[in-house]
């Protein structure tokens, strides 16, 4: 495959991300989606779902550290964490670095994503063997709406694919309101919310749905090289706190931990919430 390339087309199929492929390591059709793993020339192994980039060895640490440590650094309660999606295990890996977390539930609809990731991305799935972790292979929407009591979690992470097909329901006001009910009184939710420049899925609508469910909603950014346009936004939603309200009782712990991390530190955390006028307008924050 010396001259083979993988390309993901996006923004109404008018743009694309292309990586030169050394070898196709794995390909299958699960009951839910097509799962492929490539060995690439420059970005290491690459996981794609239905032809869309999900995880690469080059930059996975950015995405996973951001989702886990931004939420943890602000939260006042940390006992129970829920991750919806994220079958590659990277967000779990980051959360298990915090010893005061008692339970981490990973709800991934496609168990084959978990199993394939264990084989090809063991550096991501290493945290799944932690005794505090439960892996539940089921529908995250039904889990939130039907199976848990109000106030069950202190932190909820939505590690989803794009807001289309089976993931579309993870971006509705109904779902966000169900997340609010699932959170403790000081609970926090984080989610990926696409590229504000290549606004193919209606970014303002996503944030309107969040504002319908939470009193405090903000956006922040981080570069994810393999995602469309590389400039990626995330939503921070809370019943009480803003994204820069770092827990003063955790700063010494975070100061120590950040020395071992590749992306996250508290200075970056504070700065990531400073948005351009363009970004504010895109999410309806004017």
C-alpha span between 276 and 197 (Å, rounded): 12
pLDDT at 253: 96
Residue appearing with tokens 């292309």 = 18
Q: What is the pLDDT of residue 201?
A: 82
Domains, the chain, ranges and CATH? 4-56 (2.30.140.10), 60-282 (3.40.50.150)
29: Cα within 13 Å, side-chain hemisphere? 0
- CA 60, chain centre distance (Å): 10
| DSSP state letters, 173-200 | HHHHHHHHHHEEEEEEEEEE---SSS-S
Number of Cβ within 10 Å of residue 278's Cβ equals 9
Q: How far apart are CA 69 and CA 247, in angstroms?
A: 12
Residue 235 CB contacts under 8 Å (≥ 6 apart), including other chains: 189, 190, 191, 192, 193, 206, 207, 210, 217, 218, 219
Cα 125 to chain centroid, rounded: 15
- Residue 159 annotated as catalytic: yes
Q: Which of 159, 162, 173, 199 is catalytic?
A: 159
The pLDDT, as a whole number, for residue 167 is: 76
Q: How far is CA 187 from CA 75, 80, 133, 240, in A?
A: 7, 10, 19, 8
Q: Taking Cα atoms as reference points, which of 63, 61, 66 lies closest to residue 273?
A: 66
Answering whether pTM is above 0.85, one says yes
Distance between CA atoms of residues 54 and 70, nearest Å:
20
Rounded Cα distance, 95 and 103, in Å? 10
| Residues of the chain below pLDDT 70 | 1-2, 163-165
Residue among 145, 243, 138 nearest 189 (CA)? 243
Give the CB-side neighbour count of residue 62, counting CA atoms within 13 A: 21
pLDDT of 223: 97
């Amino acid at each position: 495959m010396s001259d083979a390339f993988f390309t993901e087309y996006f923004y109404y199929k008018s743009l694309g991300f292309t990586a030169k492929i050394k070898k196709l390591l794995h390909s299958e059709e699960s009951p839910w989606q097509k799962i492929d793993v490539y060995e690439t020339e420059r970005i290491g192994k690459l996981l794609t779902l239905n032809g869309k980039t999900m995880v690469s060895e080059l930059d996975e640490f950015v995405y996973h550290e951001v989702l886990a440590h931004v939420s943890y650094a602000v939260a006042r309660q940390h006992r129970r964490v829920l991750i919806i999606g994220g079958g590659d295990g990277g967000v779990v890996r980051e959360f298990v670095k915090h010893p005061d977390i008692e339970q981490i539930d990973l709800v991934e609809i496609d168990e084959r994503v978990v199993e394939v990731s264990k084989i090809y991305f063991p550096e991501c799935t290493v945290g799944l063997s932690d005794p505090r972790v439960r892996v539940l292979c089921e529908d995250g929407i039904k889990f939130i709406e039907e199976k848990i009591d109000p106030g069950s979690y202190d932190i909820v992470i939505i590690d989803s694919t794009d807001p289309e097909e089976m993931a579309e329901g993870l971006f509705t006001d109904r779902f966000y309101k169900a997340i609010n009910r699932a959170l403790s009184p000081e609970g926090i939710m984080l989610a990926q919310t696409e590229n504000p420049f290549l606004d193919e899925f209606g970014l303002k609508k996503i944030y309107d749905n969040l504002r319908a469910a939470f009193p405090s909603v903000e956006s922040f950014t981080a570069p994810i090289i393999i995602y469309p346009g590389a400039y990626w936004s995330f939503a921070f939603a809370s019943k009480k706190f803003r994204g820069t309200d770092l827990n003063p009782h955790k700063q010494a712990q975070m100061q120590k931990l950040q020395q071992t991390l590749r992306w996250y530190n508290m200075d970056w955390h504070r700065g990531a919430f400073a948005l351009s006028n363009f970004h504010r307008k895109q999410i309806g924050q004017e």
